[in-house]
A and B are shown apart, each in its own frame.
Chain A
């Protein structure tokens, strides 16, 4: 009888793998449902198709808690600023799925009031065809997104971000230095004037005492 603790229970892995594994299997969607595709999304959620099989059943209606923005339905010009704001409110990492023809390209509403594809407003990771997309297509899109997430490197992203931040810090210090230098120059110039004035005064004083 081997004790549980005596078994080898350490798995070595890369941090990237473990982070991506976690991310792929708990994608919480934000269903930005406007039209017909939202009804199909409802069908995807319930019994027959069951979205929870891929760990996405936890539908969050707040952008702050969700990972995937699922734009299902037509986006009109009246709605565009709202969609944009919701995207901006989501925390990173975030992905966007355009569900259905309307979200991808405007569909057959080529008209004065519909945005011809949400990629005019926000970046899109996965496009899904269909009017509306079938639940199977939805699963396919989720798998595609999972594949995409698996290819992402958390460490690389972080390194890039650190690099970006470093550069930003560098640029900012450079700016600050430049400003300080300019200020100092001004001050020195002022000081010089001051010294010259003082010298003149001293000279005047000396002249006075001499007299």
Chain B
């Protein structure tokens, strides 16, 4: 509980943070969306106990939660300290259905890129400023966000083709400083040319 005494008052003072009372076992702090990026930056660089590692980002949908009033979605960030082993804390941001955006923290932590993509894929929460926000676990033709409570668990969606990664590769090349002059020819998986030599072709 020393962590709560150390960090929480500063967060409360500087960022108007509140404690999440539902977490009776650890320290969970609720901050508003606008403060999220500064809070994370503070935790990473300046806090008395520095949180070097982003362990997890979890989305949650509160549709139909008993006696619950408030924004429908929440995003929870789990942090862990390496310099002071054993220190952990969680941040929680509420996201309402009207404004499904959260500022990204992928510029601070490398892993946030994929974690945020996952939350976007499963819940449809859009991370503003994310470099490459697209689906990660579900396929490209998937419609809807499966972990929302109103998505029927057995609603299946077939994929007709294989997904394509060339545009992402070009993007990655451009971040590395390369410039694409001529694109390679795109061959779809159902084209005869691709299946040449197989019995279909």
Which A residues contact B (CB, under 8 angstroms)?
Answer: 77-78, 80-82, 85, 88-89, 91-92, 110-113
- 8 tightest Cβ-Cβ pairs between the two chains A and B: A78-B139, A89-B198, A77-B159, A112-B146, A81-B162, A88-B198, A88-B200, A112-B155
B185 located at the interface, meaning its Cβ lies under 8 Å from any Cβ of chain A in the complex = no
* Inter-subunit contact A112/B139 (CB<8 Å): no
Contact of B153 among A77, A82, A88, A112 (CB under 8 A): A112
Contacts of B163 in A (CB 8 A): 78
| Per-residue interface assignment for chain B, residues 118 to 159, with 1 indicating a CB less than 8 Å from any chain A CB and 0 otherwise | 000000000000000000011100000010000111111111
Q: In the complex, A158 Cα to B195 Cα: how many Å?
A: 25
Residue of A at shortest CB range from B147? A112
A112 CA to B153 CA, complexed, in Å: 6
The answer to whether B195 and A113 have CB atoms under 8 Å apart is no
Q: At the interface, yes or no: B189 with Cβ under 8 Å from chain A? A: yes
Interchain CB contact under 8 A, A81 and B159: yes
Contact of A81 with B189 at beta-carbon distance under 8 Å, contacts A111-B154, A113-B146 already known: yes
B162: which of A82, A89, A92, A111 is its contact (CB, 8 Å)? Answer: A82
Interface of A is mostly: loop
Q: Is B160 an interface residue (CB 8 A)?
A: yes
Q: How far is the CB of B167 from chain A (nearest CB, A)?
A: 18
Of chain B, the residue at the smallest CB distance from A81 is: B162
**Are A85 and B189 also in contact (CB < 8 A) when A77-B157, A110-B154, A112-B151 are?**
yes
Given A88-B200, A112-B146, A112-B153, verify A77-B158 contact (CB < 8 Å): yes
Inter-chain pairs besides A88-B195, A112-B152, 18 sampled, C-beta below 8 Å: A77-B139, A77-B159, A78-B138, A80-B158, A80-B159, A81-B162, A81-B189, A85-B195, A85-B198, A88-B198, A89-B199, A92-B199, A110-B154, A111-B153, A112-B146, A112-B153, A112-B155, A113-B156
Q: Closest Cβ of chain B: how far from A166's Cβ, in Å?
A: 20
* Contact A77 B156, beta carbon cutoff 8 Å: yes
Q: How far is the CA of A89 from the CA of B161 in the complex (A)?
A: 16
Q: In the assembly, what is the distance between CA of A102 and CA of B70, in Å?
A: 40
Rounded to whole Å, the gap between the CB of A123 and the closest CB of chain B is: 14
Mark B172-201 against chain A: 1 for CB-CB distance below 8 A, else 0.
000000000000000001000001011110
Instruction: Look across to chain B and name the residue whose beta carbon is closest to the beta carbon of A78.
Output: B139
A77 proximity list for chain B (CB < 8 A):
139, 156-159
- In residues 11-37 of chain B, which contact A (Cβ within 8 Å)? none
Question: Which chain B residue has the least Cβ–Cβ distance from A76?
Answer: B139
Q: How distant is the Cα of A88 from the Cα of B186 in the complex, in angstroms?
A: 21
Chain A residues within 8 Å of B153, by CB: 110-112
A89 to B137, CA, bound (A): 26
Shortest Cβ distance from A91 into B: residue: B199
Closest to B200 in A: A88
Chain B residues, CB < 8 A from A78: 138-139, 159, 163
